């Protein structure tokens, strides 16, 4: 059985613009400069670790910032939308017998609420989340141990270089999605196993 694990923000849900607006609202409280258009364009072409340095967000504040971010994002769930083609792709993968999961730094509460609004609750078999920006590999490894999955049958789909890094550390296939936060160029430079430009490409990838 193939297992497809997804990042949430920027991969399943188009939350980048709303996320940036929330981050900029929190900038003064957490003591880092808000993102202007020039900075945002620059960040698209930086790896996750380089982007964090460029943002000037103090590393020790990250867990607190992410927690507050997810709390504010909860109020925006009715305004969030799936990326085009994502719903059809998820339903087709489920129909084909794949096990679908979400691994995210968002909160389980937010993810579950969004899936409920989108009528996709029964589509996913598992959700795993924590506030550690670079902690997804531990979540994936925990899933593999607890579910006794074959890592050779697991694909992790994400829109940032840290998602590629998490997949590689976990020994699963990395699938880089170019429709989210990071540009295709920087994703490609981080050597994902697969680079896709539309959700429906997942169907061809898994059936090849």
**DSSP assignment letter at 158:** E
Q: 94-144: per-residue pLDDT in tens? A: 999 999 999 999 999 999 999 999 999 999 999 999 988 889 999 999 999
Domains of the chain: 3-14+82-207 (3.40.50.1000), 16-78 (no CATH)
Q: What is the pTM of this model?
A: 0.94
Strand order in the sheet with 173-177: 126-129, 99-104, 3-6, 154-158, 173-177, 194-196
19-58 burial, b at 16+ Cβ within 10 Å, e below that, comes to beebbeebbeeeebeebeeeeeeebeebbbeebbeebebe
pLDDT at position 156, please? 98
Catalytically active residues, by annotation: 7
What is the separation of C-alpha 29 from the centre of its chain, rounded to a whole number of angstroms?
Answer: 25
The answer to whether the CB of 13 falls within 8 A of the CB of 83 is yes
The answer to whether the CB of 177 falls within 8 A of the CB of 159 is yes
The answer to whether the CB of 178 falls within 8 A of the CB of 197 is yes
The most distant pair of C-alpha atoms in the chain lies apart, rounded to whole Å, by 49
């Amino acid at each position: 059985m193939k297992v497809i694990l997804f990042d949430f923000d920027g991969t399943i849900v188009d939350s980048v613009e709303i996320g940036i607006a929330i981050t900029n609202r929190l900038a003064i409280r957490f003591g880092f400069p808000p993102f202007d258009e020039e900075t945002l364009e620059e960040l698209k072409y930086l790896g996750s670790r380089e982007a964090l340095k460029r943002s000037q967000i103090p590393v020790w504040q990250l867990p607190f910032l992410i927690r507050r971010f997810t709390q504010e994002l909860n109020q925006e769930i009715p305004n969030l939308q799936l990326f085009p083609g994502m719903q059809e792709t998820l339903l087709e993968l489920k129909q084909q017998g794949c096990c679908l999961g979400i691994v995210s730094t968002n909160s389980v509460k937010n993810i579950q609420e969004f899936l409920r609004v989108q009528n996709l609750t029964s589509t996913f078999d598992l959700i795993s989340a924590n506030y550690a920006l670079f902690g997804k590999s531990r979540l994936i490894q925990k899933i593999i141990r607890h579910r006794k999955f074959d890592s050779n049958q697991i694909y992790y789909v994400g829109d940032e270089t840290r998602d590629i890094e998490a997949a590689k550390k976990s020994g699963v296939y990395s699938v880089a999605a170019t429709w989210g936060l990071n540009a295709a160029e920087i994703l490609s430079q981080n050597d994902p196993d697969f680079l896709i430009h539309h959700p429906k490409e997942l169907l061809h990838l898994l059936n090849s």
